[in-house]
Amino acid sequence: SAMAYDGVAARSVGGAAAGVDQSILVSGESGAGKTETVKIMMGYLASVAGQTDGVVVKRVLESQPLLESFGNAKTVRNDNSSRFGKFTQLEFDATARVGGGDPPLVGSRCRTYLLEKSRITGQAPGERAYHCFYGVARGRSNSRLDLKQQRFTAKGDLATNKIEGMSDPDRFAKTWDALRLVGVEDNERDAIADLLEVTLLLGDVDVEATSTEQGEGSKLLEDAASTKASQALGVNAEALGKALTERTVKARNETFKVPLTQQQARDARDALAKEIYVRTFDYIVGKINTATSSGDVDRAMRVVGLLDIFGFESFAVNRFEQLCINYTNEKLQQKFTLDLFKTVQQEYDEEGVPWTHVAFPDNAAVLTLIEGRMGIIDVLNEECVRPRGSDEGFVSKLTTLHGTESTRYIPHKMNRDQFTIKHYAGDVTYTAHHWLERNTDALPEDLAGVARSSSFTMLASLFSSSVVTTKTKGKLVKDTVCTKFKAQLTLLMEEIERTTVQYVRCVKPNSIKSSSHYDVEMVVDQLRCAGVIEAIRVARAGYPNKLPHAEVPRRFGLLCDTSGSTLQLCKSLIGEELATQKRDGPYAVGSTRVYFKAGVLEALERRRADALGERAIVVQARWRQIRHTRRYNNAKQGAKKVQARHRRYIARRVYLKTKAAAILAQSARRACVARKRVAALRRNRAASRVAAAWRGRKEQRAYSKLRTNAVTIQKVQRRRAAVALHAKMATEAREQAKLENRLAAMEAKLRDAQSKNEEEEGALVANALVDLRSANADLRKENEKLKSENAALKKKVTELEQEKAIRADVLAASRAQHFAEPPKPAVKKTVSSPRAADTTPDKKKQSRFAALVGSLGFGNTPTTEKEVPPTPSSGRRDRRAPHIARPLNRFWQDVPAGSLESALPSSPNDVARVHLKVGGQYLCATGARGCALEPMPQQPKSPSSSTADGRDACYLRCEPPVQVSAQVARANGQTGANGGDFGYRTAMAFIVETAAKGTFRLRSELTGGYVNVGGLFQRYCLCASAPTAAEATSFEFVARQKDGNEPVGEPDPSSPGGRDASMERLRAQQLLVALRAADGPKRGHFVRVRPDAYVNVAPPSSPDAARGALPADDRTTPLLSVELLVPLSQYEVTFVASQLGLIVSKTMPLKVVRFKDVGASLAPAAELSGRIAVGDVLATADGRDITQCSRREAVDVITSTRPITIGFRVGEV
């Protein structure tokens, strides 16, 4: 293609256009790559020729895939085989130049040859029809085709839906875009698709055989297929049936109908389908030529013709199409042979080289046999015209005419319809079956008339120019297929003769469509069929090898002296005389080249290779010398380095031995000094331990004595208060009795006086009665006053006792912290984990907490005789009153056991905050704030470890409020006994969320985690560390059954404070409930407090407890009480302390950020309120709204006045 374009773009010396038309003939068998080669050359020519008109170039390039869609099909040899020949002429404007250089591409014209019609109506197994049929059937949305049901495609390959990586719907879309590009309107494209559907629908039309008076006939089957086909054709079904089953014959002045047999009717149907498709194909080719042709006849055009023609074919059965194809290849082979010898002869003449005539194969005899007078084409046309002509008669005439005269024709001895032709590529045997019909290729006038009368506009227009076959003076007006093809081929050869021809031979490596297999025999056979082998033989008969003059001394100068001329050099090299006109020689010297006979140049190349080999040996010897010298020098340097390193190794080993000896002496000296120092330290430590033990013993005795004295003082003080209170109440009772006796006496006296002298002393008695009643009213008022004073005194005594108990707890905690023995490194005596409490029990260290827990049914079973609780069978009554902590303030309320279900939230969206109390202490979480919601740096400590209580992460413990505050402070990295930044409420509060009916989940307000039951290694302790509700344990409350026979609230005169104990027991009976796990592996287990204050679960102790029915006298199931935070949207707190202990936000409104450590022994005032929470808003101060003030003013108001009542608004959760 590059040489062809250079020939088109050539200029003369003066700059005028001197290019000539070019032709590139591409040939090869099916599947060799002819079509792809043509596309590659077209793409190259379009790219180098410039793009003055991009639309035209694009149309030219897109026209090839468009023709492939309508003219290519899958065969057993090639998936995309071209079933027609085409000659494409690319037009270049010789007068215009792209950028002042080469002529641009301005258009193209295309001419097609021998479209394979038989593929339309049937295909061999494994083959397909033309690609466009499958694209319309599978890519069109409203297609009426079913390829499996269509008769023309049912026997072909329907499993293949991709050709060369492109699916049929994608190819259909690309084809339709290409049609739009070449100027086909949308309605015309739809009409083309309808024509393709009509072609396949005609195949479903069938006829049945009938008998008539004139002989055998046929009749159209009136079924759905015929109706569908006639509707698609746009004709009446009856008219279509008559056209298919009858033929109109004109004889002189008469016209009559001749019935057709069933087979003739089917052939007519197939002929109509073929003609429709052929005319559609020609219409598309015409559209392409119209869109791509330059159309300007005035411009000087140069063309490059690309001929994509079928190669030589020889099959088991060769038909009419193979004869036409091989006829074409014979013409092209003749052109190739003449061009080859003409080129060689011209070159020899220009170089002045003597040459002799060489015999070459001439196929003129074959062409004369085919196209000469009374050749195959003439005999076939004559047999088509002759009445009752037949294929056997045609073969018989050929045998008579050429059987003995032509050496290229061989008649068949067995079959009368077969004959053999000796082509240049080999012998081919043809079978003359239906040759006359295929050569005539005439559509019956009846079917053509039906097509012209169709309501389908495009179909009618395609058949409007049809030619009617008639006779005029013994000759056909319409030419046969052979005649038309011969004329087209002659015109093609004339156009090629006017151009400079380039040849491209495509060779197929194998027949299995593999890119890695090479079939040598098949390739040689193709080269023979293409005439390449014969061309090589002819070329070798002359001077097959040649070299320019400058190349001979450069290449062979090492064999001899190059100072002389080229002729002298050749004589020195070859040693023989050169060729002349009189005699033949091994070489000849031309004006620019030296020509060699066969084998001469090969001998020179061998001598040159031997000379180069000798010189290479010398070079290799020198190189080996250099390499060995270098290797010796490297070994010498290496030996020196090895020796140096060995000497260094010996010296270093001596040095290391000396150094090790010095270090050993130094270490022995230091060990001696260290042993003396350690002995002294051990003596000092032993003395310190003895002294510390003595001081500890001394302090313990002092503490025991002090504690005993304090307990004695407290008992005496409580006894005195109780005796005084009892005496006062007894006095009041006696006074009350005296007054009542006096009143009764006076009433009796009045009644006596009335009975004695009712009439005389009535007035006096009435006055006395009035006086007595007045005195009685005064006495009653005084009695009520005494009762109110008595109630106030009782309330004050109760408050003093509570305050005293709290102070005692605080004092006990502070003393326990002050006098606690420091931990020893070897043995841990302090019980700080559930495992330690189980393995090392210490009965002497049971505190008031343990005793109180035991009275409520918590903890371990008592082991001493004095601590054995009474049972219902013993008849003894337990006089100990369980102490349950009172609510912290008015914001918290105790919830009776019977009201828990209504007090707690009933829907999953509601929450409530509660305190869980065990006697006077609270359940709390010991972890840092938010530790359950944030990633922990390490795993939390197990309750079985020996770490301090405050360091246990997220476990639940039972502690007094002060201890709870200290636990939270230490867990969050703070010091001191106060609560730090979080407060009582945060430490002890749990958020209750409804899980299911009657069950709930607990979430610690401090850690943010849900409460769940730990595993075996956690001793089944409760942890507030579950990050999600799905991992939490659900709980439920179990209340004790009521027992009307239980004597509750009866005072015991023999024990001081018996009435208060009874009231406390009555309160406990109303509040205490059991907490039980409702799901998980510990379902049904009850929550209990261990002696070490950790909280875990234990199985039920009785069958009743397992069923959730706790009797009133159950003393083994653990019990607790619930304290609920009153749900308020706003509240007020009065502060007396100078420092509130709050950190508020830096913007308005003021929000509580955290609690502040004020340095006091107790927690700050805000924390002690038990109600204030982080996020609450400070709204008012002594009734004044501070939300509208600036932050400075609001802070001044809060800090300037004491006492002050601050109103808070509850923040969002």
DSSP string across 130-169: BHHHHHHHHH-TT----TTT-TTTTTS--S--EETTEEHH
Please indicate, yes or no, whether the overall pTM of this predicted structure exceeds 0.85: no
Please state the φ and ψ torsions of residue 176, each to the nearest 5 degrees: -70, -35
Please report, as a single letter, which amino acid is at residue 676: K
Residue pair 203/119 in contact by the 8 Å Cβ criterion: no
Q: Which of 505, 509, 511 is nearest to 78 (CA)?
A: 511
Confidence of residue 198 (pLDDT cuts 50, 70, 90): very high
Location of structure tokens 């840092």:
928
pLDDT at 475: 46
CA of residue 690 relative to chain centroid, distance: 74
pLDDT at 1080: 86
Mean pLDDT lowest among 343-347, 458-462, 848-852, 895-899: 848-852
- Angstrom distance (rounded) from CA 465 to CA 750: 155
Q: Please, which residues have CB within 8 angstroms of residue 458's CB and are 6 or more apart in sequence?
A: 188, 191, 192, 194, 195
- Angstrom distance (rounded) from CA 66 to CA 176: 9
Q: Which of 947, 950, 954, 952 is nearest to 929 (CA)?
A: 954
Mean pLDDT lowest among 31-35, 275-279, 689-693, 1209-1213: 1209-1213
- Angstrom distance (rounded) from CA 862 to CA 856: 13
Q: What angle do CA 875, 879, 884 make, to 5 degrees?
A: 130
- Residues 611-619 have a mean pLDDT of 92
pLDDT exceeds cutoff 50 at 432: yes
Structure token pair of residue 132: 């466009």
Residue pair 198/459 in contact by the 8 Å Cβ criterion: yes
Measuring CA to CA, how many Å separate 892 from each of 276, 888, 899, 1142, 1177? 100, 7, 15, 21, 20
Please report, as a single letter, which amino acid is at residue 1086: F
Range from 274-288, 773-787, 1087-1101 that averages highest in pLDDT: 274-288
Range from 450-454, 487-491, 621-625 that averages highest in pLDDT: 621-625
pLDDT exceeds cutoff 60 at 71: yes
pLDDT at 675: 95
Residue pair 95/15 in contact by the 8 Å Cβ criterion: no
Location of structure tokens 């003769």:
497
Range from 173-182, 439-448, 596-605, 835-844 that averages highest in pLDDT: 173-182
Q: Taking the CB of residue 307, how many other CB atoms lie within 10 A of it?
A: 26
Q: Taking the CB of residue 202, how many other CB atoms lie within 10 A of it?
A: 28
Q: Please, which residues have CB within 8 angstroms of residue 438's CB and are 6 or more apart in sequence?
A: 319, 320, 321, 481
Please state the φ and ψ torsions of residue 302, each to the nearest 5 degrees: -120, 140
* SS3 (DSSP) at 1068: helix
Q: Please, which residues have CB within 8 angstroms of residue 52's CB and are 6 or more apart in sequence?
A: 96, 98, 104, 106
Q: Which of 161, 43, 589, 633 is nearest to 351 (CA)?
A: 589
Structure token pair of residue 16: 């005028």
Report the side by side order of strands in the sheet with 105-113.
Answer: 105-113, 85-93, 301-308, 22-27, 500-505
Which has more confidence, 835 or 888? 888
Number of residues that this document lists for the chain: 1213
- Angstrom distance (rounded) from CA 971 to CA 926: 7
Q: Give the pairing of strands 593-596 and 1095-1098.
A: unpaired
pLDDT exceeds cutoff 90 at 525: no
Residue pair 989/1009 in contact by the 8 Å Cβ criterion: no
pLDDT above 70 coverage of the chain, percent: 80
Measuring CA to CA, how many Å separate 468 from each of 50, 142, 386, 667, 1177? 47, 36, 18, 129, 107
Please state the φ and ψ torsions of residue 244, each to the nearest 5 degrees: -80, -30
pLDDT digits (tens, 9 = 90+) for 231-258: 999 999 888 889 888 888 877 778 888 8
pLDDT above 90 coverage of the chain, percent: 20
Q: Give the pairing of strands 1121-1125 and 500-505.
A: unpaired
Which has more confidence, 757 or 77? 77
- Angstrom distance (rounded) from CA 337 to CA 269: 45
pLDDT exceeds cutoff 50 at 834: no
Confidence of residue 1016 (pLDDT cuts 50, 70, 90): confident
Q: Please, which residues have CB within 8 angstroms of residue 545's CB and are 6 or more apart in sequence?
A: 595, 596, 598, 600, 601
pLDDT exceeds cutoff 90 at 101: no
Residue pair 812/959 in contact by the 8 Å Cβ criterion: no
Please state the φ and ψ torsions of residue 1015, each to the nearest 5 degrees: -90, -165
Mean pLDDT lowest among 556-570, 604-618, 1022-1036: 556-570
Confidence of residue 468 (pLDDT cuts 50, 70, 90): very low
Mean pLDDT lowest among 605-614, 763-772, 1076-1085: 763-772
pLDDT at 471: 41
pLDDT at 825: 40
Q: Which of 903, 921, 924, 906 is nearest to 1039 (CA)?
A: 903
Measuring CA to CA, how many Å separate 832 from each of 835, 871, 964, 972? 9, 33, 15, 19
- Angstrom distance (rounded) from CA 451 to CA 239: 10
- Residues 523-544 have a mean pLDDT of 76
Structure token pair of residue 102: 């080469």
Which has more confidence, 357 or 687? 687
- Residues 390-406 have a mean pLDDT of 88
Which has more confidence, 815 or 386? 386
pLDDT digits (tens, 9 = 90+) for 167-187: 999 999 999 999 998 889 989
pLDDT exceeds cutoff 90 at 651: yes
* Crossing angle (nearest 10°) for helices 131-139 and 186-202: 110
Confidence of residue 848 (pLDDT cuts 50, 70, 90): very low
- Residues 850-858 have a mean pLDDT of 48
Please report, as a single letter, which amino acid is at residue 445: E
- Angstrom distance (rounded) from CA 482 to CA 439: 6
pLDDT at 1057: 52
Measuring CA to CA, how many Å separate 932 from each of 909, 939, 963? 22, 11, 21
Structure token pair of residue 293: 């042709």
Radius of gyration of the chain (CA): 62
Which has more confidence, 447 or 800? 447
- Angstrom distance (rounded) from CA 867 to CA 875: 16
Which has more confidence, 872 or 1012? 1012
pLDDT at 841: 39
Confidence of residue 583 (pLDDT cuts 50, 70, 90): low
Mean pLDDT lowest among 18-32, 637-651, 1179-1193: 18-32
Q: Which of 457, 454, 453, 452 is nearest to 187 (CA)?
A: 457
